[in-house]
Structure formats: structure tokens, C-alpha cells
Structure 1
């Protein structure tokens, strides 16, 4: 008789299989064989999503009723309004099963909010908690979560006092993500936290006992608040290694920074910023951070467009005055939302000339084409052969414009003896790139560089930058698992 391999799989293998299946798909495995008829009610990780069109309340209640064995993880994602009484019963059941992970995502933020069950605070074995679009009202006997390591709450209605209590009474917290909570002032006391992300509306954040914090990400929308007061917490980040300042954080901080921070960020090796490269105040604020980061190895720049354009000669003159201050450790430079205007080109050239150790350059052109009328930057830089350190160059989002073609030609002429790989990827919408490829081919044939590997990437695989160059989305509606 032929061996029935499916029926005799070891439990850890079947559990691994079920971890990749929805509840609906897992239930269908009951027809595989007699041995599989009840295996689907055993998996410790339960994932529910209302995309299958079935009643979420009925499915969750039915599965929890039939489930046999421990439950380590409970994930629920729904666009629909759920009955608070059902949620209360589910969490009560989970609380007596030593649940380790709870994720409840209500993806439609425009529907009515629900109050998360107070039974949640009985789940003292929780290590990961993630809540979206709900009300958090803990009992007066709140003691936090003794085992919690990761906290992620988005669009949750919660008071400042309650949130501070949850954080300070969860001593093992390592990762905190707080998004759009309507709280402006907050104190974070978390001795083990290593990652902190703040998005939307925070004006003042006081860090206390956060010596292990090494990665910080701040996302501040234009006109929402003044971010200058947030800068003071940099002084309490002696071990910061990765810093991300998105959207209009630099704009809100303009005028609040000295030429250099009082204490340098000696451990900072990664910096990501959104910046208006035709705005002197943004550039000045960014330069303060760069000058205060002597160990910086990777820099990511998201270019934002500004209708109020500074005089190009003024920007160029300001940058020329700073040429004698090199960034000696910078290895990787990535720029998104690039449009080839003179102010942007001048800043990129400034960084290239100031970074003797730079090895890798990635440029991604923005989705919105900016009409380039002034091509004087081409003649300013085409004889500049000072980018001799570059080894890898990648350019994506190409539309085939003459400005883009000349930009690539300048890079090639300045790196012809050291460049090892050039990667080009057209924008998904670009259909005609003949001018670019013709210029490129003529140059490569004229400047014999046999060591260069020329790679063209399929435009259908390109990832377009959003119009606001933001790395994170405002909408919760499309967030699943």
C-alpha cells in the first residue's frame, strides 16, 4: 500500500502549513483525510479577515468555540463595524489562554469607533499588541503589561495619562509605534525600548530613561504642528544609530537649530530626511544634522517640491561655502523624487564632492515631471571629474527626457575609471526612451569602459514614488496582514 504522507506529517510541519492559510482555507483541509478532519482547529495562530465576504463575528466565535489547544496569536482585520460585545467575549476567551499576540485592525477609520474590552489588560502574557481605530479605556487598576515587547497603536482614542501608564508599566517594551493619536505632549519612560516611531501631531515628546533607544522615526505633516520642540530629545539619544525625519519635519524645525548640535550623534550611521532642496532654511537644518553625525554611512533624501523657489545662485553660493567640510564616512546616497532642476543637482554634486568614501549612488526620478527650462547646470558640472569614488550607480523612474540623459552622461564621464555597475530602470509609464539609450550607447562606445556592467531593469517592476515623497501612508483602509 502506498504511504499516506499527508496524513502522517509531523505536527510542527502541519502547524507551519496552517500559518500560511486563512481560516477559510484551513477549514477546507478537513476533507483531505480522516486525520485532517480536526487539524484546522488546533493551530496556535489564528488569522481572520472579512475579505472572504462571510460574517466575521460568526466565523471568529465558531472557531474559538471549536479550537482545541493553546492560542499564541490572534489577528483580526475588518472593514466592518463589529459588535463590541463580541469583541469583549473574544478577548476574554483569549485572556484565559495565555495569548502572546493580539492584533485588531479596523481598516475603515470613517465608521464608528468601538471600545476595546477591558479584558485586554488581563492578557499579561502579551508580547505584541497592535490596535487600530478604537477607544482604549483601561480599568482604574491598570498595571500595564509585564511581558509586552512591542506596542503599535494607530488612530486610537486614548488619554495622555493612560498611554504614559501603559508604557511606563510595561518594562520589557522594545518597540513603540504611535500614529495619529491626537496627543500633542507625551512622556516616554521605557528603559528597554530600542525603536520609536511617531506620526502626526506630536509637539513635545519627553524621553526619560531611554538609554537603549537606537532607532527613531518621525513623520510630521506640513502645517500640522511645530516640530522644533521635538528636536530637544535628540540630546537624550546618546546611542541613536538610525534616524528618519519624514514629510515636513525639517520645515517645522527651521530656525531652531544651531549650525551644529551641542553634542554630536557619534553612533548615527543612517539618516533619512524629506527636504525642499530649493529652500535654504531646509538645507541649513539638514546640514546641521549632517555636520553633527561624523559616523554617518548611509543618507536617504526624499525631495519635496516647493512653489516658493529660492534664487539658484544663492543656494549654489551657500553650498560652495561649505565645500571644505567633508562627510568622510558616507558610503551610500539614495535620492527619491529627483527632477533635475539646478538646485537639486547642485546639492547632489555638493554631496558627491564632499563624500570621498561614497561608493553607491541611487537616484529615483519623481512621478510628477518638472519642466526644466534652465540647463546651465549641465555646463557647470559636465567637466567635473571629481566623483571618482563611485562604484555602483542606479537610476530609476526614467521618462527619457534630455535633462535625465545629460544627468546620466555627467555621472558616467565623472566615474568612467571606477564605475563597476550602472543600473537603469524606466518609469512604468515611459514608452519612448530612444533618446536616452542613443546618447548612452554613443557615450559607452566612445569612452571604452569594458569593466562597467550595464543593467536595464523591467519598467513593469518599478515602484513609483508617491507625490508627497512620503514613505508611509495616511490611510488605514488598505492595511491588512
Structure 2
């Protein structure tokens, strides 16, 4: 009786609260609530967050053509029926998300137009379209581009617009008398346009825009022979983008545009990747003096020099986070900033020496390129600084691991180490011999992401790693290709046995940390009884699940 009363009290909550509960549940679980009571059924049928995916209807391939056509019709009818229910009852739609990747788009374009119209008239706030990439052509000569209707831009309630895939933004769509008065978030992925400046003009029509994402957008190239634009014609990268007069703009994420110019006084975060083309790129965001976060990817030209770093921190005095990934660097760079808190350098070629003077730096991540790691010196550092070193290394180069760790100066800032040890070829399966000369650095965490599968090498791998560093914890994620259960078991047995002949002492009088190892505690990411024994834990360990060893020294 009490249980029923509790259910009644929950069902009688205001609709806005019940909708909020549904928004936090997976879609399948949310649908199941409709059978709990009449109130929950009504709540589900008025839930204003709609997501439709043809993947839930199409099933697996191959399949009979008749069945495929029936499923496509069922999908179209289901979307239309749901939207009409909201429209006919005057219900609001907060989010409308549509993903079509399996059914042919040219058979459905008019339906999609109708769906967008219904959602727009229901006051949609977030509109997300995910369609197949274009412009391709089918056997009957029809293109797969979807032309966004002009009416979408007139939706005054729209605050977020996400377009992904072969969606064409025509020049006619860029009516100067219309503006996205409420739009705050704009994301365009692989969107196409006829005009080089169409997307730029679209952005200029959004006075309240705060977040912009542009990834791999293209310009359709006219057919040279006929001078007509065909949907099957090729597309080229956007050459330039100019954003100015956007007083609310906070974040910009751009990929695949050669030249980017930004004048936005409130910009806080800028991410840029030029894309896969050989032409030189240019970025100008000097006027964005309130910038706090800067991410640069795949900058192949040698613009990142010592002078570049010097000017960067003087131009942007509030810069807190700098991430450089796959960028071509000078051999020696100096970083000096009082404001910097986060620094990431990943796969930065040519780099041999980094001098960092950042007294408030809290996190530094360095991902090596597989060769000799640069010397990284911290001239002034916070007591809270944590340095994470991620190293891909060949098995035959494993003896150089100790030297790579010693390149971090001072040693006590190194807090975690992630290792990707590549499997050697069959003709190089002899175990390595490693001589210890001095006590290894102590670190908080060692993550073994990839280790050789051949059991002949297990002993030398473990000995070299544990003589190169003294970790407080060691974690491994089970993967039959990168980290087998056999290796996890071997590491566990090595740690538990702690034999004298298995220590890392050299010829000197200094005794290694192995002699002081008192206890090893084993934990797992699985939800199991903490008292379960290791053998059972290992048997239950699933793909990608993690097992950890805590070492008490």
C-alpha cells in the first residue's frame, strides 16, 4: 500500500519535473515508463525531446528489397505521426534530432522538409540533422545533397542548430533581411555551400552567437564543361572565414579552412586544425585578448618558434591552457607565463629541449613521438604540478626508458607514466638485459596500455619497467591485442612473490625499492565484491575493463 502511494506521489509531480526525470534516462528506459501509469504515459507522449534514427528501423544487411522499403515507410510514418501529435495538440518541442544514414535521402527530402516545418511551428529550440555525406550521385543520376529549407532560418525560438553531412546551404538561404535572433550555438560538419562566403554570412546573421563549430565544410565546384552546378560535382575546401562584430562569441572550433580571421572581444576558447591540404594556412585572432584556451592541431609549417611563444603570452595575458598536437616545432623552445595552468605537447616533431617557467602550472602532459624524448625542464613550478608522460616505445628501445624519465627535470614533478610498448618482430624475441645504476624516480601512477604478447618477453619487460620507476599504483586494461590476461597474471605473481633474485639491485651497495615492498592490493573497475580473490577477478575481467595494483613501500 505504501509503495502504491509513493508511486502516486511521483506521478502527481508537475510535468516539468517528470520531463526532467525522463531527460536523464536512456531512451529505452524512458519509453518503458509509459506503462507505469496513465500519468507516466501522458508524460512520455508529451516529452519535448525527440530523437529519430533510421538505424533503429533498418536492421542488418543484406535483406530483401521489399522488407527494406517497408521499413523505410514505417520510419517515415513514425516520425510524421509523432510530430503531428505535438503539432495538433499545441505541444512544444524543445529538441528535434534526426539521423538518416541508411535510407536514400532523395526519396525522403520532402518528408524531411515537412518534419522541419512541423518542428519549427512547435517552437523547437535545438535542431540537429545528421545526414549522409554528399555530394554523391546514385545510379539514376540523383544527388544526395539535402537543401536546407529557407523556413529554418525564420524560427525565432531556435537557440542551437547542428547540421552534419551532405546538407547544402544555398545562396538563397542567405536573405539579408532575416537573422537568427536567438541562435547561440552553431555546429556545421561537412556542410556544403554554393558560395564561398555563404557560411560566413550565415554566422554574421547571428548577433547572439556564443559557440561556433565548423568541421570540414566545403564549397561546391561548378561543372567546367557546362558551367552549371551539378549535385554530383566535386567540392573544395573553404579558403577563408572572417568572423567579426560578434560581441557574445565565446568559443570557436574550426577544421579544414585555410585562412581564419577572428575579431571577437569575448572569445575565450579557440581550436584550429588546418586540415588535409598542402596550401599554407593563416590564422589571425590577435584582437581576442581575453582568450583563455588555445588548441592547435596539425600545424605543419614552422610557425611555432621561440619568438611565437614569447609573443603569444604577451598578446593573451589571460591564457590558461595551451594544447599543441602534431605540430612542427623548433628544436628548442622557452615557455614563460605566470597565468598558464595547463600545457599539453603531443607528437611535436623536431623538439629536443623545452624550458618552462610557469609557477602556476598545474598539469603538463607530454606525448612522445616514439623517438628520443626531449629534455623538459621546469625552472619554476607549483607544488601542485603533475606531469604526465605518455611514451610509445619499441620493445628493443625499452632499455632507454630510464633515460627518457631522467629527461624530466626536476624528477619529483613526474607523477604518472603511460607506456605503449610495441610488439617486436619474430627475429627479435630475445629478452633484454638491463643494468641498474641509480635509484629510479618515484611516481604516483604507471599505466601499461600496450605490452608484448609473447610470454618469453614478460620477465624482461617487467624488470626493466620496475627498475626504471617506482610506482605507487600500476593499472592495466585487458585487451587481447594490447594487454593479455597472461601478462596481467605474470605481473601479479611477480609483485606477490618479491623474490630476492628478482630485485633490481645493481653491483653497488644501494638496495632497490623492491626490498621495501610490504604489500600489494588488487582492485578492479568491475562492480564485484572487494574480497574476491585475484584468480576470480581475472576470469571476470572483460574487454577494456581495468585492474590495478596498489604498492605499499
Q: TM-score, normalised by structure 2?
A: 0.64
Q: Offset of 1:74 from its aligned partner?
A: 0.8
Gaps of 5+ in 2: 58-70, 138-143, 218-236, 334-346, 504-512, 526-537, 547-553
Once the two structures are superposed, the pairs formed by residues 176-325 of structure 1 within 5 Å of their partners are: 176-181=212-217, 182-189=237-244, 190-199=246-255, 201-214=256-269, 216-219=270-273, 224-225=277-278, 229-230=282-283, 233=285, 235=286, 238-246=289-297, 249-250=298-299, 252-253=300-301, 255-260=302-307, 261-265=309-313, 267-269=319-321, 271=323, 273-274=325-326, 283=348, 291=356, 296-301=361-366, 319=374, 322=375
Q: Secondary structure at the match of 1:460?
A: coil
Q: In structure 2, do the counterparts of structure 1 residues 413 and 364 end up closer, same or farther at CA, with 3 Å as the change threshold? A: closer
CA distance in 2, matches of 1:424, 1:376: 22
Alignment pair present for 1:151 and 2:186: yes
CA distance in 2, matches of 1:379, 1:237: 52
Alignment pair present for 1:117 and 2:121: no
CA distance in 2, matches of 1:194, 1:52: 36
Larger Rg: 2
CA distance in 2, matches of 1:354, 1:240: 30
CA distance in 2, matches of 1:228, 1:347: 37
CA distance in 2, matches of 1:405, 1:272: 36
More strand by share: 2
Q: Offset of 1:431 from its aligned partner?
A: 4.3
Q: Which residue of 2 aligns with 1:448?
A: 516
Larger RCO of the pair (alpha carbons < 8 Å, separation 6+): 1
Gaps of 5+ in 1: 306-311, 465-481
Tell me how large the CA RMSD over aligned residues is: 4.4
The number of residue pairs the alignment matches comes to: 435
Q: In structure 2, do the counterparts of structure 1 residues 404 and 332 end up closer, same or farther at CA, with 3 Å as the change threshold? A: farther
Q: In structure 2, do the counterparts of structure 1 residues 373 and 256 end up closer, same or farther at CA, with 3 Å as the change threshold? A: farther
CA distance in 2, matches of 1:32, 1:323: 61
Q: Secondary structure at the match of 2:96?
A: strand
Q: Offset of 1:407 from its aligned partner?
A: 6.2
Once the two structures are superposed, the pairs formed by residues 30-429 of structure 1 within 5 Å of their partners are: 33-35=37-39, 38-53=42-57, 54=71, 55-67=74-86, 68=89, 69-79=91-101, 80-82=103-105, 83-107=108-132, 112-133=144-165, 134-137=167-170, 138-141=173-176, 143-158=178-193, 159-181=195-217, 182-189=237-244, 190-199=246-255, 201-214=256-269, 216-219=270-273, 224-225=277-278, 229-230=282-283, 233=285, 235=286, 238-246=289-297, 249-250=298-299, 252-253=300-301, 255-260=302-307, 261-265=309-313, 267-269=319-321, 271=323, 273-274=325-326, 283=348, 291=356, 296-301=361-366, 319=374, 322=375, 326=379, 328=381, 330-335=385-390, 337-339=392-394, 342=397, 345=401, 348-349=404-405, 352-353=408-409, 356-359=412-415, 361-365=416-420, 369=423, 371=425, 379=434, 382-383=436-437, 385=439, 387-388=441-442, 390-400=443-453, 409=463, 412-413=466-467, 415-416=469-470, 419-429=471-481
CA distance in 1, matches of 2:289, 2:359: 13
Q: Secondary structure at the match of 1:391?
A: strand
Residues 144 and 167 in structure 1, CA contact (< 8 A), matched pair in contact too:
no
Residues 98 and 125 in structure 1, CA contact (< 8 A), matched pair in contact too:
yes
The superposition leaves residues 61-93 of structure 1 with CA deviations (integer Å, 9 ceiling, x where unpaired) of 211211132111111112123422222222223
Q: Offset of 1:435 from its aligned partner?
A: 5.1
